[in-house]
Structures are given as C-alpha cells and as structure tokens.
C-alpha cells in the first residue's frame, strides 16, 4: 500500500510539473499570437538553412517577407511567392515557371512568412523547454509536436521567442526524412505601410514563364 501511495504521489507530481510547463508554453504563445493579430501588417528579414546528412543537402538562403492581413509577398533566394489571400503564385527562377494554387492549399504545404510567425496555432501540442540565451538575448525555448504525427511533415519544431519583445527569433524544424530547416529572424517591423499592389501577381513581369495551375 505504501508503494502504491508513493507511486501515485510521484505520478501526480510529474503530471503537475508537466501541466505547469505546458501552461507556461501556452501562455507565452497566446501572448505572441495576440500581438501578431493586433498588427495590420508586418515585415521580416530572415536567413534559412536546410540540412540533411543522409542525402548530403546543405543549403542556405536569405529571404524577406511582407504580410498584410491574409496577403503576403516573400522572397527566398531567387524565388518569389505572392498571395492575394485567394490565390498563391510561386515563381521559381531555376524552372522559369510560375506555380499557381489556391491560397489555402499552398498554406498547408509550405512555410510562408505569415504561417511561420504563428505556426503553433494549428495542429501542434506544445511544451515549455527552458529559458536560454540567443545572440545575447533572453529567450523562451518551446517545443512543438504534431497532434497527428502520421499526417505531419515535421516531427518536432523548436521555437526561440524573445522574452522582452515576445517575438519569434528562430525556428528549427525537423522533418521525418531527416531534414532540418532553420529559420533565423534578423529583422521584424510591425505595421509598416504596404501598398496592396505588392500582393498582385502580374504575368507580364515574367515573360516566358508558363503558369502551371494546381
């Protein structure tokens, strides 16, 4: 009986600590989400790396992103992604092609600046890992795990969120095939003035590029 009681107490203590950690993660993420939702627009600059030791992938690029409501415009290396909230166009310079899809379909399959800054909001459980330093700045380190692992592309995402500014500073995404994608934010501007023409795709700007529709 004493052993059973001790086991139950240990279990209860472990569960309580885990709940406290998850509640702390939820609290931080809720504040960041509220901050993002309170913005009419934002602009980011970032660097990204993709590594996979199995197939020898080791790539790095820089990018920029403009977001206004449900619209966004992003550059990633030589490629450009434009979304007006209904349709998304991915312009791939290497292929000399434009890939058009419904915005919702594209959002499920790719990481765009809008999704990156609030990736925790859909389909993930969270766990508060620890407080740490990133480039001399105090950050919250939070782990994300998919609620439905069988359908998820990433098995783990680690977020680094500044304690002072409550802004995402870094995201490390580990996929099932062994690929690690790291996004590091170098600049974030809240509520910049962005003309709606930024989110209009013009085929005339890409002569000779066929538009391939999903």
Number of domains in the chain: 1
pLDDT band at 19 (very low <50, low <70, confident <90, very high): very low
Query: Is pLDDT above 50 for 11?
Result: no
pLDDT band at 7 (very low <50, low <70, confident <90, very high): very low
Query: Is pLDDT above 70 for 4?
Result: no
Average pLDDT, the chain: 85
pLDDT band at 203 (very low <50, low <70, confident <90, very high): very high
pLDDT of residue 10: 40
CATH of the domain at 123: 2.50.20.10
pLDDT, tens digit, for every residue of 156-180?
999 999 999 999 999 999 988 888 9
pLDDT of residue 42: 95
pLDDT band at 105 (very low <50, low <70, confident <90, very high): low
Please give the model's pTM, rounded to 2 decimal places: 0.83
Read off the DSSP letter of residue 71.
E
How far apart (Å, rounded) are the C-alpha atoms in residues 109 and 8?
A: 43
Residue that has been written with the tokens 């765009």 in this structure: 112
Which is nearest to 163 in space by CA: 130, 203, 120, 207?
A: 130
Residue that has been written with the tokens 């996929």 in this structure: 175
How far apart (Å, rounded) are the C-alpha atoms in residues 11 and 34?
A: 34
Mean pLDDT to the nearest integer, 64-92: 92
How far apart (Å, rounded) are the C-alpha atoms in residues 184 and 195?
A: 26
Please report the DSSP string for 157-196 in residue order: EEEEEETTT--EEEEEEEETTS-EEEEEEEEEEES----G
How far apart (Å, rounded) are the C-alpha atoms in residues 170 and 185?
A: 6
Q: Which residue has the higher pLDDT, 109 or 18?
A: 109
User: Dihedral through CA 69, CA 181, CA 184, CA 189, nearest 10?
Assistant: -10
98: containing domain: 2-213
How far apart (Å, rounded) are the C-alpha atoms in residues 198 and 214?
A: 23
Read off the DSSP letter of residue 78.
T
pLDDT band at 104 (very low <50, low <70, confident <90, very high): confident
Q: Which residue has the higher pLDDT, 182 or 107?
A: 182
Yes or no: say if 156 and 28 are a contact pair by the CB < 8 Å rule: no
pLDDT of residue 14: 40
Yes or no: say if 106 and 127 are a contact pair by the CB < 8 Å rule: no
């Amino acid at each position: 009986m004493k052993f059973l009681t001790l086991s139950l107490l240990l279990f209860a203590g472990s569960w309580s600590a885990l709940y406290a950690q998850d509640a702390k993660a939820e609290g931080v993420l809720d504040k960041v989400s509220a901050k993002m939702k309170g913005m009419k627009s934002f602009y980011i600059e970032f660097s990204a790396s993709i590594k996979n030791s199995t197939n020898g992938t080791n790539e790095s690029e820089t990018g920029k992103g403009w977001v206004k409501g449900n619209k966004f415009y992003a550059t990633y290396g030589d490629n450009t992604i434009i979304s007006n909230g209904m349709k998304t166009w991915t312009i791939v310079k290497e292929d000399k092609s434009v890939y058009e899809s419904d915005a919702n379909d594209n959002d499920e399959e790719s990481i765009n600046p809008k999704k990156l800054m609030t990736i925790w909001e859909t389909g993930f459980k969270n766990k508060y890992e620890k407080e740490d330093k990133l480039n001399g700045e105090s950050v919250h380190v939070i782990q994300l795990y998919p609620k439905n692992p069988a359908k998820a592309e990433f098995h783990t995402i680690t977020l680094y969120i500044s304690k002072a500014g409550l802004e995402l500073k870094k995201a490390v995404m580990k996929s099932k095939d062994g690929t690690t994608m790291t996004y590091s934010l170098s600049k974030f501007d809240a509520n910049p003035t962005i003309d709606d023409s930024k989110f209009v795709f013009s085929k005339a700007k890409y002569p000779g590029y066929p538009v391939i529709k999903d």
